[in-house]
Amino acid sequence: MSVSGGGRLPAALDAAMTALNASVHIDSALWREDIAGSIAHARGLARIGVLSDEEAQQIVAGLQQIAGEIERGEFHWDVDKEDVHMNIESRLTALVPAGAKLHTGRSRNDQIATDLRLWARRRAAELEQALLELAGVLLRRAEEHLDLLMPAYTHLQRAQPSRVSHHLMAWQELLWRDLGRLRDAARRLNESPLGAGAVAGSGFALDRAGVASELGFERPMRNSLDATASRDFLMELGSALAILAVHLSRIGEELVIWSTEEFGFVRLSDRFTTSSSMMPQKKNPDVAELVRGRAARVIGDAVSLLVLEKSLSFGYGRDLQEDKPPIFAAAESVLVCVRALSGAIDSMTFNAARLRAALGAGHMCATDVADQLVKLGVPFRNAHHTVGALVRRAEELGVQIDQLPRSEVRAIHPELTEELIDSMFSVEAAVERRQGIGGPARVRVQEAIADARVRWGLSE
């Protein structure tokens, strides 16, 4: 029989209702937080004289014993006791009679809100750590490949010469903002619902501030209705995770493209790829595809959290029990993806010959040829037109513009010297010219890496 009916509803729940109602198979993941919250609550009750010091000590010891039982896998989770709260409380009461006093001035509504905030804070810190590791990998690889050039693409068409490090550092920038979103969400959610009770607080003079500070919260939540009925902290964390997952999917997509036979820019380690059960020659970029695919689920999780709370009246509604599967899944998905990508990027190898071939010289420098004409006094629009004609001519001959007969190149401007022509066709020179803030010139990328090391707190 479900215990939650208590004296009011002594009849057993219908089996179908139990299946819908019980959440212990999911919320038992919150046991650490639930026990921490109960310990803080028990001590708070002792401070206001609701529990004697001895009772509080017995309760704390009982809760610590339960934590050990759960950790060792000895705890019996009972679906008839519905959720993590009732399972732990009923075991506590069996161990310590004073356990029956623990729920004084408390409701499962403020209890679950507290557990979730503690959980979200802990997971955000783990995610931060994983992101830090991924950033460290990107910075290290960017440093290693500082001199490796590659095309920069727009519309997935070769656009301008750039460097591999500049590209890796672009990924790092996305992740840096993701870190900011996670930290911001974690900071904002760090308030204590305990003492809000079911909806309108408690008649006991609970030490809300003391309990909040014992749990490492910044302050007690200011409004008991809000404290128990709001889950925007999960929408926020879920949204930050969805954005992060989308970013990981973009990195994944690039790794898929780069590891094709057609591009051949990188080779993923065997530890992150699989072969085909049918085609023995295959080496599939599974890690990148799975990360790309997993983002779909994380987006779905964020949407679930938004829709769950949409139009929900105040205060607590049981709908809110459904917040756990999506946020648990989103956090786990993103952690797994960040860690797998870290390993894949850490262990992949770049193919310098293929990157060089993709640069293909010539056309890649078309902007630089136009810029050279501008320096000789030609308005940019006219220069653009002239170089466009040069590219068309090269395509007629089936060559890159740097392979055109020099006489045809020189003909585009009377002041073009051999030296100027060589420089405007050189991809190295083209990248080095891009010295502006945020550009791919070697010195700028070196600075970007150094700056990122400081921001992420990653020493060399």
Amino acid at 317: G
Which residues share a beta bridge with 158? Answer: 153
Measured CA angle at 314 (ends 25, 240), to 5 deg: 60
Q: Which of 41, 43, 81, 108 binds ligand ARG (CB under 6 A)?
A: 108
**Binding window for ligand ARG (CB under 6 A); candidates: 11-19, 87-95, 155-163, 316-324:** 316-324
Q: At 181, phi and psi to the nearest 5?
A: -65, -40
Q: Which of 70, 92, 112, 327 binds ligand ARG (CB under 6 A)?
A: 112
Residue 169 CB, shortest distance to ligand ARG, in Å, is 42
Token representation of residue 388: 């466009």
* 109 scored as a contact of ligand ARG (CB under 6 A): yes
Residue 198 CB, shortest distance to ligand ARG, in Å, is 7
Question: How many angstroms separate the CA atoms of 96 and 341, rounded?
Answer: 48
Question: Between 171 and 316, whose beta carbon lies closer to ligand ARG?
Answer: 316
**Binding window for ligand ARG (CB under 6 A); candidates: 35-43, 318-326, 366-374, 388-396:** 318-326
Residues in the chain: 460
Question: Between 315 and 440, whose beta carbon lies closer to ligand ARG?
Answer: 315
Question: How many angstroms separate the CA atoms of 62 and 60, rounded?
Answer: 5
Residue 457 CB, shortest distance to ligand ARG, in Å, is 36
Task: Identify the burial level of 236 via C-beta atoms within 10 angstroms of its C-beta, where 0-12 means exposed, 13-18 middle and 19 or more buried.
Answer: buried
Judged by CB under 6 A, the number of residues near ligand ARG is: 9
The residue behind tokens 């070769």 is 158
Q: Which residues contact 181 (CB under 8 A, 6 or more apart)?
A: 239, 240, 243, 244
Token representation of residue 333: 């998905």
Question: Between 83 and 301, whose beta carbon lies closer to ligand ARG?
Answer: 83
Instruction: Name the active-site residue from 25, 52, 275, 276.
Output: 276
List C-alpha distances in Å: 115 to 92, 184, 324, 351: 18, 19, 11, 49
Query: Binding mask 11-40 vs ligand ARG (x if CB under 6 A, - otherwise)?
Result: ------------x---x-------------
Task: Identify the burial level of 285 via C-beta atoms within 10 angstroms of its C-beta, where 0-12 means exposed, 13-18 middle and 19 or more buried.
Answer: buried
* 239 scored as a contact of ligand ARG (CB under 6 A): no
276 is a catalytic site residue? yes
Query: Binding mask 76-95 vs ligand ARG (x if CB under 6 A, - otherwise)?
Result: -------x------------
Question: Between 323 and 368, whose beta carbon lies closer to ligand ARG?
Answer: 323
Q: Which of residues 184-203 bind ligand ARG (CB under 6 A)?
A: none
Amino acid at 444: R
**Which residue ranges make up the site for ligand ARG (CB under 6 A)?**
23, 27, 83, 108-109, 112, 318, 320-321
Active site residues: 155, 276
